[in-house]
Structure formats: C-alpha cells, structure tokens
Amino acid sequence: MASSEETAKRRKVKHVRPNALFEQWITEWRDEAKEKGLQTAYTYNKALASLKLYPLPFKSGKECSLLKNFGAKLCSMLDKRIEEYKAANPDDTRFSSETSGLPKPSPTKKANSPKKRRAPAKKKQTQPEEDIVEDLETVSVQIAPGQVQVKLIVDCSETAAQKASQKMTAKELELQGIPYEVRDLNVGDFLWLAIAPDGTELVLPFIVERKRSDDLAHSIKGSRYHEQKMRLKMCGLNVIYLIEATKHHTALPQETLYQAQTNTNIVDKFCVHNTSNVKETVSYLATMTRVLQRKMNGKFIKSCGVDDGPEYSLSAQTLCLYSFKEFQQGSVKIEVGILISVPKIYFKVTF
C-alpha cells in the first residue's frame, strides 16, 4: 500500500491562476486604454478572456501567441515587462524554462541553440496600444432600419453529409425563395447573418445543430456527443437542437433517444425541435428565416464586441451583434486542445 507521502508526491499541481502576472499587466494596459478612450481596451479584454482559460503557466510573451487575441505587439510588450520584472526580482523563478506550460525542447536542439533571447532594444513604443492585434481590431458598423439583408448560412459539411439530402435541401430552399449560402462553419450546421449594405456580416443570435436520429444514436455511443454540446454552449448563440427522424436508428433504443432529447432541453437549455424528414427541416429553416427578415427589417443594428454585447430581446428597437469573423475565430480549437470561444451567452431572445 502506498504511503501518504508517496500519494502526496503523485498529486498533480493545480494552477489556480497560472499566469497571474500576465493578467495583472494586461489589466493595467486595458485600464490605461479605457482612460485614453482607445478601442484597444476591447482587444485587451478579449486577450484576458483567452488567457484565463489557459490552465498552464507561460514563461514568455512569445508563448502566448498560440492563444486567440495575442498578436505580435502584445506578446512583445509582455516580454519587455518580463525583463523588467526579472531585473527587479532576480530570485523569482516563475519565468524560468522549468515553469513553462509548453513542451520542452529536446536536448539535441537545445545544444545546437546556445543563443539566449534578450529583450529587443530597437525602437521606442510611444503608444503601443494602437496596433497590438491589427487583424482583430473592430470597426464599428451601424445598419439603419430597412437596410439589412438576412441570409441563411449552411455548413458545407452538413450539405455534403449525404448527396440526396444536399440536393433536397438546396432544392427546397430555392423553391421557397430563401437566400442562403454554403460555407464552412466551425460549430453548428445552420445560422443566420445580418448583412449591411457595405457587405459587413453580423451574426444573428440563433444557431441550429441538425441531428439525424441515427446520427444522434451514434454520437451518444461515441465521444462526439458531449464535445459538440460543449462547443455549442460556448459559441455565444441560442442553440436550436433539430432532430430529424430517420427510418434506421438501431444503435440505441427509442427510449434512450427520447431521454437524450429531454436532457438536451432541460439540462443543456437547448431548444429541441423535431422534424419528420428533410423537407420538414427545410420548411422550419425557411420559416425562421422569414421571421428574422421581418423582425430585422425595422431594427437599428450596430456591431459590438463579443464581451461587450448586452442582453436584449428581439422586441428591442436597437440590436448589438458581433461579426461573423469573430464567431469563426472564437469557435475553434487551438493546438493544445483547449477550446477558446465566447465566454458567455448574452443573447436572451423573446419575440
């Protein structure tokens, strides 16, 4: 029997706030940007959200580049602050290579790389906040009432799942005069965009995950079921879990599928909708599209950041939506296997 000392040695270390200093510094920069009225305060806020989701410590700003919203400028600022901190606190080892949350290099590579990185002493940064993550800066967009176009987006993997289903879905949408476009979605099978006259695309607060009953049975037996649900919960939209009946779903008893639907509705808080076939599914999507077109036509719509979105009702006159680009970037998995996504669901919708 293992002794208590041996058991204690095997315990894994839990990092409550593995990057507390990074959080502190970024918070300081965010607050300074807010005081100056700079939009980069929003970018700092998004970087903080990504950092807080990462469970392991970083030893440099450069390592943070694998996280969402960490551009070259922000990583460089962190590296500079680390050098200042190490000079003032020589006995602090938190930024040594042993504490890194990333894999260590092999000994051969280490032997062939004798150079030590030092903080670059090139040019001064008078106002570094202005171009920290240029590719993620948000441009404010406003859409006046009557100028918005609502379009249904169909995931390409959804339409390619079965050729017969693909042809029928496209045919029915065209017959009903529903504007749609096939794209690659990082999560979900269908969603709707509010498109401004200049082409800017904002995401409306609904996403549909379609499950054929036989596919649902296979998902429950496998590992996809809970992983897909978690990603849907974190996408920031109201989830419609659409279950399309099929003749063959022998992988599980019908009672098990009913129980799964109930759990999805009550536990996961998803709206569960059942259809009998592809044609009925498309009819439901068409109805949703028309309802959203009618509701959006008289609204004043403006863009906002994921973390800045207010709770609202579709009965409100002004709506704040975030961009399709943000939705896609916020619904992917990074290499280390951690889901970096929208940290909250702020769309509370009533008709």
More confident residue, 135 or 86: 86
Q: Are strands 238-244 and 300-303 parallel, antiparallel or unpaired?
A: unpaired
Inter-residue contact 154 to 192 (CB < 8 Å): no
Closest C-alpha to 178, from 286, 271, 263, 256? 286
Q: How confident is the model at residue 286 (pLDDT cuts 50, 70, 90)?
A: very high
Report pLDDT for 138.
47
Report pLDDT for 168.
82
* Mean pLDDT, rounded, for 258-270: 89
* Percentage of the residues of the chain whose pLDDT score is greater than 70: 72
**pLDDT tens string 3-60:** 555 544 444 444 468 899 999 999 999 999 888 877 788 788 888 888 888 878 888 8
Report pLDDT for 191.
95
Sign of the dihedral through C-alpha 51, 329, 316, 284:
negative
Report pLDDT for 252.
78
Place of tokens 């379609």: 210
- Which has the minimum average pLDDT: 62-66, 200-204, 259-263, 313-317? 313-317
Report pLDDT for 313.
66
Report pLDDT for 181.
92
Q: What is the pTM of this model?
A: 0.59
Q: How confident is the model at residue 332 (pLDDT cuts 50, 70, 90)?
A: low
Closest C-alpha to 165, from 134, 223, 210, 205? 210
As a whole number of angstroms, the distance between CA 185 and CA 175 comes to: 24
As a whole number of angstroms, the distance between CA 257 and CA 249 comes to: 9
Inter-residue contact 155 to 149 (CB < 8 Å): no
Report pLDDT for 341.
41
Report pLDDT for 152.
96
Closest C-alpha to 251, from 285, 272, 224, 278? 224
* Percentage of the residues of the chain whose pLDDT score is greater than 90: 24
* Mean pLDDT, rounded, for 289-309: 83
DSSP string, 1-26: ---HHHHHHHSPPP-SSTTHHHHHHH
User: Over 90: is that where the pLDDT of 133 sits?
Assistant: no
Q: How confident is the model at residue 258 (pLDDT cuts 50, 70, 90)?
A: confident
**pLDDT tens string 50-84:** 888 887 888 888 888 878 778 888 999 999 999 99
**pLDDT tens string 185-198:** 888 999 999 999 99
User: Over 50: is that where the pLDDT of 86 sits?
Assistant: yes
Size of the chain in residues: 351
- In 60-81, which positions are buried (b, 16+ CB within 10 angstroms) versus exposed (e)? bbbbbebbbbbbebbbbbbbbb
